[in-house]
Amino acid sequence: MVVKGTPLTKDPELKKLGKAYDIYFNAADLKKIGEIRRDIFFFRKPFLKREEALQKHKKMIETLKPLYKNIVEARNTYAQHQGHYRNFLEFSLENNGLPPQNLARALKLLDSLIARIHQALPEPKNKGEFYSVLSTPDFIDELTDKRYSLPDYVIEKLENRIPKLKSLLPRIKFEDVDRNKGGFNEAVYDPKTETATIRTWASKDLQNAISMAHEVGHSVAYLGLAKRGLEPKDKPKYWHEQQAIRTELVFINSLPEKLRGAALGGILLQFTEALFEIETYTNPNQDFDMVYAQAFNRCYKDVKQDKNPFYVLMETNISRPCSSVLQGIIHAEELSRILK
């Protein structure tokens, strides 16, 4: 959020931040970054092929590393010029409406939560490969490639558990978007028609179903606000994400045991990204490859990495900084009530 009355183009710190972005995206734009990530990490890709892909992209990854750090530093400088913030993390959390003590509290909960999630995880077929630096530990993909009838499967599970959903359903529309063309998961409220539209990837797998449940949570919140004469922007992002994540967890909790475990496993990846961002924005003067490896080691008990440079391929960290932190904190808060 920008201080009111500050024209964007005249803010020198914002200009510097824009420049840091430009340099990064001139080296590789989001499309290219997505291609490289898929080329190395594509699910079910044989391991030798991953090594080959890594060799092919090694130079680019090395190029992106200092450019990524530049963006982090420029974001911090920008935040410091906006007031009392020490870094971009503090700036981002405050502007999203998150009380500062919630971060410290979530970090305290984290290790015991991770241990409890681990109790629910399915066992990977090949632990060595599954937890290698060359794979993204994806328990859902490991367990099932089942396709679902969506959105019906999600609606059916949520309808019985969220009583107000039924009456709102006629005002919620569902649309598919193409991930490979830059489409992302979202729910959008249109005040003219008083409807919410949910856009999710067309894959119809369990991951897609979880995203859909999350977006149903956003939609119910939008429609509830509208009923009270309010708009989405009247509530902070923290509140919105809370509504969405609560619905997402209602769905996850309704799944058969193994699938539920795999779905909870997905949250570990978000904790990893969150820890990485917390560490790097708080102290950019360290080896980011090491910080990323340590974040993985903390979230997955069978991961033992020394260095991991692949944060440069995480589109979310680049285009939506600290959103993993916000979501990670909410997941920690909500899971600490659910997981006993």
Q: Which of residues 70-89 bind Zn ion (CB under 5 A)?
A: none
Cis peptide before 151 (omega within 30 of 0): yes
Residue found under tokens 């606000």: 225
Distance CA 100, CA 92 (A): 11
Q: Which DSSP string corresponds to 70-91?
A: HHHHHHHHHHHTTSS-SSHHHH
Of 171 and 246, which CB lies nearer to Zn ion in the complex structure? 246
Residue nearest to Zn ion according to CB distances in the complex: 244
Of 153 and 184, which CB lies nearer to Zn ion in the complex structure? 184
Interface characters, 122-151, with Zn ion (x: CB under 5 A):
------------------------------
Contact 17, 25 (CB under 8 A): no
CA angle (90 as vertex; 89, 91 as ends), nearest 5: 90
Q: How far is the CB of 262 from Zn ion (least distance, A)?
A: 20
Of 69 and 240, which CB lies nearer to Zn ion in the complex structure? 240
Q: Which DSSP string corresponds to 197-266?
A: EEEEETT-SHHHHHHHHHHHHHHHHHHHHHHTT--GGGS-HHHHHHHHHHHHHHHHHTS-HHHHHHHHHH
Q: How far is CA 158 from CA 148, 168, 217, 251, 266, in A?
A: 15, 12, 10, 6, 20
Q: How far is the CB of 240 from Zn ion (least distance, A)?
A: 7
Of 39 and 186, which CB lies nearer to Zn ion in the complex structure? 186
Q: How far is the CB of 31 from Zn ion (least distance, A)?
A: 23
Task: Provide the 8-state DSSP code for 179.
Answer: G
Distance CA 173, CA 313 (A): 32
Q: How far is the CB of 273 from Zn ion (least distance, A)?
A: 15
Contact 62, 50 (CB under 8 A): no
* Site membership for Zn ion, residue 198 (CB under 5 A): no
Of 154 and 244, which CB lies nearer to Zn ion in the complex structure? 244
Task: Provide the 8-state DSSP code for 323.
Answer: H
Q: How far is the CB of 218 from Zn ion (least distance, A)?
A: 6
Of 244 and 250, which CB lies nearer to Zn ion in the complex structure? 244
Of 244 and 274, which CB lies nearer to Zn ion in the complex structure? 244
Residue found under tokens 């309010």: 230
Size of the site for Zn ion (CB under 5 A): 1
Interface characters, 236-275, with Zn ion (x: CB under 5 A):
--------x-------------------------------
Q: How far is the CB of 106 from Zn ion (least distance, A)?
A: 17
Residues in a beta bridge with 195: 190
Taking residue 194's Cβ as centre, other Cβ atoms within 10 Å add up to: 12
Taking residue 34's Cβ as centre, other Cβ atoms within 10 Å add up to: 16
Of 46 and 182, which CB lies nearer to Zn ion in the complex structure? 182
Closest listed residue to residue 96, CA positions, set 327, 339, 334, 337? 327
Q: How far is the CB of 132 from Zn ion (least distance, A)?
A: 30
Q: How far is the CB of 244 from Zn ion (least distance, A)?
A: 4
Contacting residues toward Zn ion, per CB under 5 A: 244
